[in-house]
Amino acid sequence: MIHIVFNEVEMELMRKVQELDESLAGDVIQIKDDYAVGPVDQIYETEGYQQRRDWWKQLLENSPYKEQSDLVDDKLTVHNLIKALQENEEERAWIWMGQNQHDVCGYYWLMPQLREFQGRVMVLYMNNLPFINEKGQIFYPSWLSEIQPSEFLKAKKLARPITLSEYEVDPDEWNKLTQENALVRILEGGKKIVSREDGFYDAEILKNITGEWQKVSRVLQNTLNRMKIKTGDVFLMWRIRMLIEAGRIVTEGDINKDWKSFDVKLPGPGRQMELLPELNENGQ
Protein backbone atom coordinates (compact mmCIF):
# COMPACT_ATOMS: atom_id res chain seq x y z
CA MET A 1 0.00 0.00 0.00
CA ILE A 2 1.35 3.39 -1.02
CA HIS A 3 -0.29 6.48 0.49
CA ILE A 4 -0.26 9.71 -1.54
CA VAL A 5 -0.77 13.09 0.15
CA PHE A 6 -0.40 16.68 -1.04
CA ASN A 7 0.95 18.54 2.01
CA GLU A 8 4.15 18.03 3.98
CA VAL A 9 2.41 18.06 7.36
CA GLU A 10 0.37 15.05 6.23
CA MET A 11 3.47 12.89 5.86
CA GLU A 12 3.87 12.74 9.65
CA LEU A 13 0.10 12.57 10.11
CA MET A 14 -0.10 9.39 8.02
CA ARG A 15 2.72 7.82 10.04
CA LYS A 16 0.74 8.47 13.22
CA VAL A 17 -2.32 6.91 11.60
CA GLN A 18 -0.30 3.83 10.67
CA GLU A 19 0.82 3.46 14.29
CA LEU A 20 -2.85 3.21 15.24
CA ASP A 21 -3.79 0.79 12.45
CA GLU A 22 -1.22 -1.64 11.08
CA SER A 23 -3.53 -2.51 8.18
CA LEU A 24 -2.63 0.92 6.73
CA ALA A 25 1.11 0.28 6.85
CA GLY A 26 2.96 1.35 3.72
CA ASP A 27 5.08 4.03 2.13
CA VAL A 28 3.88 7.64 2.24
CA ILE A 29 4.75 9.95 -0.65
CA GLN A 30 3.91 13.59 -1.30
CA ILE A 31 2.99 15.44 -4.47
CA LYS A 32 4.70 18.72 -3.55
CA ASP A 33 3.77 21.29 -6.19
CA ASP A 34 0.72 23.50 -5.70
CA TYR A 35 -1.20 23.04 -8.95
CA ALA A 36 -3.93 25.42 -7.74
CA VAL A 37 -1.72 28.34 -8.77
CA GLY A 38 0.67 29.09 -11.61
CA PRO A 39 0.82 28.24 -15.32
CA VAL A 40 -0.33 24.73 -16.28
CA ASP A 41 -0.47 24.98 -20.08
CA GLN A 42 1.12 21.85 -21.62
CA ILE A 43 1.97 20.74 -18.10
CA TYR A 44 2.89 17.20 -19.18
CA GLU A 45 5.19 18.41 -21.97
CA THR A 46 8.80 19.49 -21.47
CA GLU A 47 8.11 23.07 -22.55
CA GLY A 48 5.13 23.52 -20.24
CA TYR A 49 6.89 21.84 -17.32
CA GLN A 50 9.92 24.10 -17.73
CA GLN A 51 7.74 27.18 -18.01
CA ARG A 52 6.15 26.28 -14.68
CA ARG A 53 9.53 25.66 -13.02
CA ASP A 54 10.79 29.03 -14.26
CA TRP A 55 7.68 30.74 -12.88
CA TRP A 56 8.20 29.20 -9.45
CA LYS A 57 11.88 30.07 -9.52
CA GLN A 58 10.95 33.72 -10.03
CA LEU A 59 8.51 33.67 -7.11
CA LEU A 60 10.93 31.87 -4.80
CA GLU A 61 13.66 34.48 -5.28
CA ASN A 62 14.37 36.18 -1.92
CA SER A 63 11.99 33.78 -0.16
CA PRO A 64 12.86 31.50 2.78
CA TYR A 65 12.40 28.57 0.38
CA LYS A 66 14.78 29.65 -2.38
CA GLU A 67 17.04 26.62 -1.96
CA GLN A 68 14.11 24.19 -2.01
CA SER A 69 12.96 24.81 -5.57
CA ASP A 70 15.08 21.98 -6.93
CA LEU A 71 13.67 19.56 -4.36
CA VAL A 72 10.22 19.61 -5.95
CA ASP A 73 10.22 16.96 -8.65
CA ASP A 74 6.75 15.47 -8.90
CA LYS A 75 7.58 13.90 -12.27
CA LEU A 76 10.23 11.76 -10.58
CA THR A 77 7.83 10.93 -7.74
CA VAL A 78 5.21 9.69 -10.20
CA HIS A 79 7.86 7.80 -12.19
CA ASN A 80 8.85 5.90 -9.04
CA LEU A 81 5.20 5.34 -8.11
CA ILE A 82 4.41 3.84 -11.52
CA LYS A 83 7.51 1.66 -11.30
CA ALA A 84 6.41 0.31 -7.91
CA LEU A 85 2.92 -0.48 -9.24
CA GLN A 86 4.34 -2.20 -12.32
CA GLU A 87 6.79 -4.33 -10.37
CA ASN A 88 4.20 -5.55 -7.85
CA GLU A 89 0.72 -6.34 -9.14
CA GLU A 90 -0.53 -6.65 -5.55
CA GLU A 91 0.47 -3.08 -4.75
CA ARG A 92 -2.24 -0.48 -4.25
CA ALA A 93 -2.08 3.32 -4.22
CA TRP A 94 -4.34 5.36 -1.92
CA ILE A 95 -4.83 9.03 -2.77
CA TRP A 96 -5.89 11.07 0.28
CA MET A 97 -7.33 14.54 -0.28
CA GLY A 98 -9.16 17.19 1.68
CA GLN A 99 -11.85 19.54 0.41
CA ASN A 100 -9.58 22.29 -0.90
CA GLN A 101 -8.29 23.37 -4.30
CA HIS A 102 -4.68 22.45 -3.50
CA ASP A 103 -5.46 18.77 -2.98
CA VAL A 104 -8.07 18.52 -5.74
CA CYS A 105 -5.81 20.15 -8.35
CA GLY A 106 -3.01 17.82 -7.28
CA TYR A 107 -5.38 14.89 -7.78
CA TYR A 108 -6.38 16.16 -11.23
CA TRP A 109 -2.72 16.46 -12.24
CA LEU A 110 -1.84 13.01 -10.88
CA MET A 111 -4.69 10.66 -11.75
CA PRO A 112 -4.50 10.67 -15.58
CA GLN A 113 -0.95 9.33 -15.25
CA LEU A 114 -2.22 6.27 -13.33
CA ARG A 115 -4.93 5.17 -15.73
CA GLU A 116 -3.24 1.87 -16.59
CA PHE A 117 -3.70 0.85 -12.95
CA GLN A 118 -7.48 1.31 -12.87
CA GLY A 119 -8.88 -0.74 -10.00
CA ARG A 120 -5.64 -0.50 -8.02
CA VAL A 121 -5.73 3.25 -7.33
CA MET A 122 -8.03 4.20 -4.48
CA VAL A 123 -9.24 7.67 -3.59
CA LEU A 124 -10.33 8.99 -0.20
CA TYR A 125 -11.92 12.42 -0.56
CA MET A 126 -13.06 14.09 2.66
CA ASN A 127 -15.82 16.01 0.90
CA ASN A 128 -18.48 17.47 3.24
CA LEU A 129 -17.84 14.76 5.81
CA PRO A 130 -18.31 15.36 9.57
CA PHE A 131 -15.50 14.55 11.97
CA ILE A 132 -14.95 14.94 15.72
CA ASN A 133 -12.36 17.49 16.85
CA GLU A 134 -10.23 17.41 20.01
CA LYS A 135 -13.06 19.05 21.98
CA GLY A 136 -15.55 16.40 20.94
CA GLN A 137 -17.36 18.74 18.58
CA ILE A 138 -18.52 17.90 15.07
CA PHE A 139 -16.85 19.88 12.29
CA TYR A 140 -16.26 19.67 8.54
CA PRO A 141 -12.53 19.78 7.75
CA SER A 142 -11.08 21.35 4.63
CA TRP A 143 -7.60 19.89 5.18
CA LEU A 144 -6.50 16.43 6.26
CA SER A 145 -4.26 17.98 8.90
CA GLU A 146 -7.36 19.23 10.74
CA ILE A 147 -8.45 15.64 11.39
CA GLN A 148 -7.26 13.72 14.45
CA PRO A 149 -5.25 10.56 13.64
CA SER A 150 -7.83 8.38 15.42
CA GLU A 151 -10.57 9.67 13.10
CA PHE A 152 -8.71 8.27 10.09
CA LEU A 153 -9.56 4.77 11.28
CA LYS A 154 -13.16 5.51 10.31
CA ALA A 155 -12.16 7.44 7.21
CA LYS A 156 -10.34 4.46 5.70
CA LYS A 157 -13.73 2.84 5.07
CA LEU A 158 -14.33 5.53 2.44
CA ALA A 159 -11.56 4.21 0.20
CA ARG A 160 -12.86 3.31 -3.25
CA PRO A 161 -11.28 2.72 -6.64
CA ILE A 162 -11.18 5.58 -9.12
CA THR A 163 -13.79 4.49 -11.65
CA LEU A 164 -13.44 4.12 -15.41
CA SER A 165 -15.93 6.96 -15.76
CA GLU A 166 -13.74 9.21 -13.63
CA TYR A 167 -10.71 8.33 -15.74
CA GLU A 168 -12.71 9.64 -18.70
CA VAL A 169 -14.33 12.73 -17.18
CA ASP A 170 -11.75 14.08 -14.71
CA PRO A 171 -8.90 14.43 -17.24
CA ASP A 172 -11.27 16.42 -19.46
CA GLU A 173 -11.90 18.79 -16.55
CA TRP A 174 -8.17 19.16 -16.01
CA ASN A 175 -7.51 19.69 -19.73
CA LYS A 176 -10.05 22.51 -19.72
CA LEU A 177 -8.22 24.18 -16.84
CA THR A 178 -4.82 23.78 -18.49
CA GLN A 179 -6.13 25.38 -21.67
CA GLU A 180 -7.53 28.32 -19.69
CA ASN A 181 -4.10 28.54 -18.05
CA ALA A 182 -5.16 31.00 -15.35
CA LEU A 183 -2.77 31.65 -12.48
CA VAL A 184 -5.41 30.91 -9.82
CA ARG A 185 -7.78 27.97 -9.48
CA ILE A 186 -10.30 27.57 -6.67
CA LEU A 187 -12.69 24.86 -5.51
CA GLU A 188 -16.39 25.68 -5.87
CA GLY A 189 -17.67 22.42 -4.41
CA GLY A 190 -17.32 18.69 -4.96
CA LYS A 191 -14.43 18.39 -7.39
CA LYS A 192 -15.42 21.47 -9.40
CA ILE A 193 -12.39 23.70 -9.95
CA VAL A 194 -12.77 27.08 -11.64
CA SER A 195 -10.18 29.51 -12.99
CA ARG A 196 -9.78 32.96 -11.48
CA GLU A 197 -7.79 36.10 -12.33
CA ASP A 198 -4.24 36.72 -11.10
CA GLY A 199 -5.42 39.21 -8.47
CA PHE A 200 -8.05 36.95 -6.90
CA TYR A 201 -6.37 37.16 -3.47
CA ASP A 202 -5.48 40.88 -3.62
CA ALA A 203 -8.51 41.99 -1.62
CA GLU A 204 -7.53 39.61 1.18
CA ILE A 205 -4.05 41.12 1.29
CA LEU A 206 -5.30 44.71 1.26
CA LYS A 207 -7.71 44.02 4.15
CA ASN A 208 -4.68 43.37 6.33
CA ILE A 209 -2.76 46.52 5.40
CA THR A 210 -3.47 49.86 7.05
CA GLY A 211 -2.21 53.42 6.75
CA GLU A 212 0.46 52.60 9.32
CA TRP A 213 3.75 50.86 8.64
CA GLN A 214 3.84 47.09 9.25
CA LYS A 215 6.44 44.43 8.61
CA VAL A 216 5.46 42.67 5.40
CA SER A 217 5.99 39.35 7.19
CA ARG A 218 3.28 40.34 9.69
CA VAL A 219 0.86 41.27 6.90
CA LEU A 220 1.58 37.96 5.24
CA GLN A 221 0.93 35.96 8.41
CA ASN A 222 -2.27 37.84 9.22
CA THR A 223 -3.57 37.28 5.70
CA LEU A 224 -2.79 33.54 5.83
CA ASN A 225 -4.54 33.20 9.19
CA ARG A 226 -7.68 35.15 8.28
CA MET A 227 -8.39 34.21 4.67
CA LYS A 228 -11.12 31.63 4.06
CA ILE A 229 -9.90 30.35 0.71
CA LYS A 230 -6.29 29.44 1.41
CA THR A 231 -3.22 29.71 -0.77
CA GLY A 232 0.50 29.59 -0.08
CA ASP A 233 2.71 32.32 1.36
CA VAL A 234 4.98 32.41 -1.70
CA PHE A 235 2.08 33.21 -4.02
CA LEU A 236 0.73 35.84 -1.63
CA MET A 237 4.13 37.52 -1.40
CA TRP A 238 4.30 37.65 -5.18
CA ARG A 239 0.91 39.38 -5.23
CA ILE A 240 2.11 41.85 -2.60
CA ARG A 241 5.01 42.70 -4.90
CA MET A 242 2.61 43.14 -7.81
CA LEU A 243 0.47 45.49 -5.70
CA ILE A 244 3.60 47.47 -4.85
CA GLU A 245 4.45 47.79 -8.55
CA ALA A 246 0.88 48.97 -9.22
CA GLY A 247 1.17 51.66 -6.53
CA ARG A 248 -1.58 50.19 -4.36
CA ILE A 249 0.91 49.52 -1.55
CA VAL A 250 3.89 51.66 -0.57
CA THR A 251 7.08 50.30 0.97
CA GLU A 252 9.94 51.26 3.21
CA GLY A 253 13.14 49.23 3.15
CA ASP A 254 14.70 46.93 0.57
CA ILE A 255 12.10 44.80 -1.20
CA ASN A 256 14.85 43.01 -3.13
CA LYS A 257 16.15 41.33 0.01
CA ASP A 258 14.34 38.81 2.19
CA TRP A 259 10.78 39.05 3.50
CA LYS A 260 11.88 40.70 6.75
CA SER A 261 13.68 43.60 5.11
CA PHE A 262 10.79 45.93 4.29
CA ASP A 263 7.60 47.41 5.69
CA VAL A 264 4.35 48.18 3.88
CA LYS A 265 1.30 50.41 4.24
CA LEU A 266 -1.52 51.82 2.16
CA PRO A 267 -0.65 54.94 0.15
CA GLY A 268 -1.58 58.31 1.57
CA PRO A 269 -1.27 59.75 5.09
CA GLY A 270 -2.02 57.73 8.17
CA ARG A 271 -5.23 58.22 10.11
CA GLN A 272 -3.70 60.73 12.51
CA MET A 273 -2.48 62.89 9.65
CA GLU A 274 -5.95 62.78 8.11
CA LEU A 275 -7.39 64.28 11.29
CA LEU A 276 -4.99 67.21 11.39
CA PRO A 277 -6.78 69.50 8.87
CA GLU A 278 -10.05 69.13 10.77
CA LEU A 279 -8.34 69.95 14.07
CA ASN A 280 -6.70 73.02 12.55
CA GLU A 281 -10.01 74.30 11.14
CA ASN A 282 -11.47 74.12 14.62
CA GLY A 283 -8.59 76.21 15.90
CA GLN A 284 -7.13 73.44 18.04
Residue range 140-161, pLDDT digits in tens? 999 999 999 988 888 888 899 9
| 8 A C-beta contact, residue 94 and residue 81 | no
- Bin 63: left if φ > 0, else alpha if -120 < ψ < 50, else beta: beta
The three-point CA angle 162-167-171 to 5° equals 125
pLDDT over 60 at 167, yes or no: yes
Residue 163 pLDDT class (50, 70, 90 cuts): very high
Residue 234 and residue 246: Cα distance in Å, rounded?
A: 19
Q: The domain at 202-281 falls in which architecture? A: Orthogonal Bundle (1.10)
Spell out a b/e string for 181-192, using b for 16 or more CB atoms within 10 Å of the CB, else e: ebbbbbbeeebe
Task: Tell me the average pLDDT across 200-224.
Answer: 95
Q: Where are the domains of the chain?
A: 2-177, 202-281
Task: Decide: helix, strand or coil at residue 65.
Answer: coil
Q: The domain at 2-177 falls in which architecture? A: 3-Layer(aba) Sandwich (3.40)
The three-point CA angle 144-147-153 to 5° equals 100
| 8 A C-beta contact, residue 138 and residue 131 | yes
CA atoms within 13 A on the CB side of 259: 20
Task: Tell me the average pLDDT across 60-71.
Answer: 77
- What share of the chain in percent tops pLDDT 70? 93
Residue 131 and residue 157: Cα distance in Å, rounded?
A: 14
For position 277, what pLDDT does the model report? 40
pTM reported for the whole predicted model: 0.89
pLDDT over 60 at 278, yes or no: no
Spell out a b/e string for 105-121, using b for 16 or more CB atoms within 10 Å of the CB, else e: bbbbbbbebbeebeeeb
Residue 98 phi, psi dihedral angles, 5° rounding: -90, 175
Tell me which of 19-23, 105-109, 183-187 is least confident. 19-23
**Average pLDDT value for the chain:** 90
| 8 A C-beta contact, residue 185 and residue 100 | no
